[in-house]
Amino acid sequence: MTESYPFISVSTAVAIATGLIAILSPFFFPLPCVMVFALISGFLFPPIVLILGALLDTLYFGGHGLPYFTIISILATLALFSVQQFVKARIMS
């Protein structure tokens, strides 16, 4: 049985909650846990991975070299978008 709230659906609330956990995770958890949280929330809302990659580069970028977290997050966001579109196409057909 699904509950309906006056202003927000349950699936949207779950997506918002996982996104907030992923955004706050670099401040409280080690990097492997942050990546797991990013992938979990990325399945619900793929751009959160890109935002998290930029946040990680802001926190850990030493000022020289390439912003590796942002580059990896761009690739992961594109992969998650394609997976999400594939899953939606498989459900629809």
pLDDT of residue 3: 63
In-domain check, residue 3:
no
Helix (H, G, I), strand (E, B) or coil at 11: helix
Condensed to tens digits (0 to 9), the pLDDT of residues 46-61 reads 999 999 999 999 998 8
Domain count, the chain: 1
* Single pTM value for the model: 0.79
Task: Look at 4-8, 25-29, 52-56, 77-81 and tell me which has the smallest mean pLDDT.
Answer: 4-8
Q: How confident is the model at residue 85 (pLDDT cuts 50, 70, 90)?
A: confident
Answer yes or no: are the C-beta atoms of 44 and 14 closer than 8 Å: yes
Answer yes or no: are the C-beta atoms of 6 and 24 closer than 8 Å: no
In-domain check, residue 33:
yes
Answer yes or no: are the C-beta atoms of 53 and 72 closer than 8 Å: yes
pLDDT of residue 13: 86
CA distances from 91 to 14, 46, 63, 67, 86 (A): 20, 18, 45, 36, 9
- Counting every residue written for the chain, the total comes to 93
Can you give the residue range of the structural domain that contains 85?
10-92
